[in-house]
Amino acid sequence: MGAWIMAGVTFREAGRKKILWTAVLAGSAFLALFGTGMHFQLKDITRHSLPPFVRYQLEAAMLQVGFYAVDLLAVVMTILTSVDTLSGEMASGTIQAIATKPISRWQILLGKWMGFAGMVAAYVAAMFGGVTTVGYFIGGVLPHHTLSGALLVFLECLLVLTVTFVCGTRFSTLTNGVIVLGLHGLAFIGGWIEQIGAMTDSPRLVTVGVVSSLIMPTESIWRRASFEMQSSFTRSLQFSPFSNASAPSVAMLGYAVVYLLVALVVAIYLFQQRDL
């Protein structure tokens, strides 16, 4: 019960933050820009009288650009809205009035986590819905396995959220933000290194990329999401932010889920041990 109360108040709190509405505005601006770009792309394609198959694939590739931007927006929004929820409340003493109520620390942390997870789910759903709608009504294309893609991006955000919670039990808000964004950057670079390694048939580069994915599996999850949503033709383009010269395996997704659960348990443990 305590966890649900905390989830509710956290969801409402997240909704009161300017950063969320900034992200919503940025997302809306992005959708408008995306729709405009797709509209003009379609006009140019029509003028050049490309074959329908090529035309469809180019529109589908444009759709992937949209999902890539949504992924980035969702991850950044997740970090910025949740980065001070533990460290900030511990620093201000706000948490003391809550932690002295008859609810366990794990309920406080899990409730906050669920509140942010709900907010992120709504954001990802809205943005995926927006991109899919624009793609269908303007470009006439639909992604493959949209739901799988959206769920994987949601999983990626949950992972980022959980790592932010782990660091929030020990570090200040600023340090926490630097660490989590740094880890996400590491995963991003590692993902590219792995792609280049797969293209150039360099096992050592692939290993470096895999290790970075093991440290922070966020980029792997995005690449798997992208893989799920692409047609076989787009996949065969081999090298772009949305192609998958080395698509993460289902085992890697399993690892990401285990990573998330372990991180959540660690966050709860650290929060329970901590003096407030």
In the complex, least distance from residue 91 CB atom to other proteins, rounded to whole angstroms: 10
Q: Among 238, 241, 248, 252, which Cα is nearest to 199's?
A: 238
**In the complex with other proteins, which residue's Cβ is closer, 232 or 273?**
273
In the complex, least distance from residue 185 CB atom to other proteins, rounded to whole angstroms: 32
Secondary structure letter of residue 171 according to DSSP: S
Measured CA to CA, the distance from residue 130 to residue 223 in angstroms comes to 20
Is 214 near other proteins (CB under 8 A)?
no
In the complex, least distance from residue 96 CB atom to other proteins, rounded to whole angstroms: 5
**In the complex with other proteins, which residue's Cβ is closer, 16 or 47?**
16
One DSSP character per residue, 107-163 reads HHHHHHHHHHHHHHHHHHHHHHHHHHHHIIIII----TTHHHHHHHHHHHHHHHHHH
**In the complex with other proteins, which residue's Cβ is closer, 99 or 257?**
99
Is 2 near other proteins (CB under 8 A)?
yes
- Nearest 5°: phi and psi at 84? -110, 10
Size of the site for other proteins (CB under 8 A): 21
For the CA atoms of 165, 215, 172, 268, what is the dihedral angle to 10 degrees?
A: 30
Is 114 near other proteins (CB under 8 A)?
no
Measured CA to CA, the distance from residue 203 to residue 209 in angstroms comes to 10
Is 36 near other proteins (CB under 8 A)?
no
Is 18 near other proteins (CB under 8 A)?
no
For the CA atoms of 159, 165, 171, 176, what is the dihedral angle to 10 degrees?
A: 40
Is 16 near other proteins (CB under 8 A)?
yes
Is 5 near other proteins (CB under 8 A)?
yes
- For the chain, where are the alpha helices, taking DSSP H only? 2-16, 18-47, 52-82, 87-92, 94-99, 105-134, 146-168, 173-199, 203-215, 218-229, 232-235, 250-273
Give the position of tokens 């880890």.
183
In the complex, least distance from residue 123 CB atom to other proteins, rounded to whole angstroms: 19
What character string, x for contact with other proteins (CB under 8 A) and - otherwise, covers 65-104?
A: ---------------------------xxx-xxxxxxxxx
- Whether 117 and 158 have beta carbons less than 8 Å apart is answered as yes
> Per CB under 8 A, which region of 10-18, 184-192, 195-203, 258-266 contacts other proteins?
10-18
**In the complex with other proteins, which residue's Cβ is closer, 95 or 152?**
95
Is 51 near other proteins (CB under 8 A)?
no
Is 151 near other proteins (CB under 8 A)?
no
In the complex, least distance from residue 81 CB atom to other proteins, rounded to whole angstroms: 14
**In the complex with other proteins, which residue's Cβ is closer, 81 or 246?**
81
In the complex, least distance from residue 53 CB atom to other proteins, rounded to whole angstroms: 53
Q: By CB under 8 A, name the binding residues for other proteins.
A: 2, 5, 9, 12-13, 16, 92-94, 96-104, 273, 275-276
